[in-house]
Amino acid sequence: MKVRVLKGTNQIGGCITEITSDKGTRIIIDFGEDLPDDNVTLTKENPNYEGLTTGTKKYDAVFITHSHGDHIGLINYILDDIPVYVEPESKKIYKLLSVFTCKQIRFKTQDMLYKEPIIINNDIKVTPYYVDHSAYHSSMLLIEADGKKILHTGDFRNNGLTGQEFEPTLKSIGHVDLIITEGTSLSRVDEPNETEEHLMERLLTVFKKYDQVFVLQSSTNIDRLKTFYNVSKKTNKTFIEDIFTANIAVSIDDDSIPSPYNRDDVYTWVTSKYRKEKSLKFKRKYVYPFLDRSKQKAYLNKKYCLLVKASMEEAIFKLYKKNFIDNACLVYSMWDGYRDKEALKNFLEIIKKYGIIDVGTYHTSGHADRKTIELLNSLKAKKVIPIHTTEPEKLKEVLNNVIVIKDKEIVEV
Ligand SMILES: [Zn+2]
Ligand SMILES: [Zn+2]
């Protein structure tokens, strides 16, 4: 096999990897946008990849590791006759993101199920494995052809609520010839990750101190959703999801995810923006199911945890005017780098005027720290290619046999 990273050897997000077998079967892994953003920001122009998005088909399949925009965000440009494989829950999440950001997407994909190999052209075998990451139901991919094995890690970690599954998964994969791994953390904070459980303990202190807790988190970070629900329960706070988060929670087929459908103590905050939404079709599907009057009054006892978005400033102002804010804080629970984004910066400034105190960032990374990346050494790969990092050289401090390459360089397996 031959590996070419078309993009991503020296950047975070937007990584595109091409793998070609000796017989000429050619697949792509991940086709996302450049922005390392949790939200969908669909590019308006065709990214012009010959044989993938333009011209005649040169690729036999595309595989997507997870629902973050920097891995899936460009799939609507893929030529119609190239099959695109996506894990079903990831597909649901991405669809909802697209609907809520008013983007039209063509979304004809094939299901990719954990541990069920997909064979392309009777030649390349791709097996997805569940991996812990901040996007729900992320995958690592094992690619086999020509008697060789490649592991593409996608984005991963082992400090989330399902992190304990990581080492047994590696063990079941055994030996591989080449690893393509993310190295995000080494170019960001580069310190050991806090576990989700430990984060929950720290949040308890904040929840005990403040009566109203406003939370800024990514709606697709399901671990974090569970964490805030659990802390709210422990501190007798009403748990209120914004409508986007509520839609995500009910769409996923997993009862352990708190949603207004499976918990009597989970409420939804339907802001006037959605009540006034023009499309009746949208309202019928995504708003009306949550319009339970009693649930609208969930914040009346003034002890609540409310998931918010930067776009909800007006709605928060109304709460302030009605005196539902008197001992409040904001918990910022995303990557710190997003704080500098204009819309978020303005939002954080404005809500201070309503007496909501920014108590700082309470977040654990979605990306593997050094110790976790080091575990890949157990696969005894002869070559390791770092992607999804701006410090590829640093991977050499952690992993054996790292080769730092440039975009489009060919690596033989
Ligand atoms: Zn990523
Ligand atoms: Zn990701």
3-state secondary structure 246-285: HHHHHHCCCCCCCCCCCCCCEEEECCHHHHCCCCHHHHHH
Q: How many CB atoms neighbour CB 193 within 10 A?
A: 23
% of the chain with per-residue pLDDT over 90: 84
pLDDT, position 221: 95
Lowest-confidence pick of 28-37, 147-156, 346-355: 28-37
DSSP letter (8 states) at residue 285: I
Cα separation, 170 vs 176, in Å, equals 10
> What is the average pLDDT across 170-189?
94
Ligand 1 centroid – CA 71 distance (Å):
6
CA of 131 to the centre of ligand 1 (A): 13
* Spacing, Cα 312 to ligand 2 middle (Å): 25
CB of 33 closer than 8 Å to CB of 73: yes
Q: What is the model's pTM? A: 0.94
Closest ligand, as measured to the CA of 13: 1
Higher pLDDT, 106 or 149: 149
Give the ligand at the shortest distance from the Cα of 135. Answer: 2
Sketch the domain layout of the chain as residue ranges.
2-190+366-412, 196-361
**Ligand 2 center–CA 317 separation, angstroms:** 33
- Are residues 407 and 385 in contact, defined by beta-carbon separation less than 8 angstroms? no
The enclosing H or E element of 3 equals strand 2-7
Distance 205 CA to ligand 1 centre (A): 31
Which whole number is the average pLDDT over 250-279? 91
Overall size of the chain counted in residues: 413
What is the structure's pLDDT at 403? 98
pLDDT per position as a tens digit, 327-353: 999 999 998 888 988 889 999 999 999
User: What local confidence, expressed as pLDDT, does residue 224 receive?
Assistant: 97
Kindly give the distance from the C-alpha atom of residue 111 to the centroid of ligand 2, in angstroms, as a whole number. 19
Query: What residues does the ion ligand 1 have nearby, CB within 5 Å?
Result: 13, 70, 155
- The dotted CATH code for 2-190+366-412 is 3.60.15.10
Can you tell me which residue has the tokens 């007496």?
355
Cα-based angle 29, 119, 373 (whole degrees, multiple of 5): 40
Give me ligand 1 centre to Cα 330, in Å. 26
Q: What is the distance in A from the centroid of ligand 2 to the CA of 291?
A: 32
Question: From the CA of 11, how far away is ligand 2's center (Å)?
Answer: 13
What pLDDT shows up at residue 40? Answer: 46
- pLDDT for the residue numbered 101: 83
Region 240-254: mean pLDDT is 95
d(CA 71, ligand 2 centre) in Å: 7
Number of the ligand closest to the Cα of 366: 2
What CATH number does the domain located at 196-361 have?
3.40.50.10710
Ligand number with the minimum distance to the CA of 389: 1
Kindly report the average pLDDT of the chain as a whole number.
93
Ligand 1 centre to CA of 222 (Å) is 16
Distance (Å, whole) CA 236 – CA 1: 57
What are 148's two structure tokens? 């060789």
pLDDT grade for 38, boundaries at 50, 70 and 90: very low
> How far, in Å, is the centroid of ligand 2 from the Cα of 106?
21
270 or 155, which is more confident?
A: 155
In angstroms, what is the span from residue 143 Cα to ligand 2's centroid? 20
C-alpha to C-alpha distance for 243 and 250, rounded to whole angstroms: 11
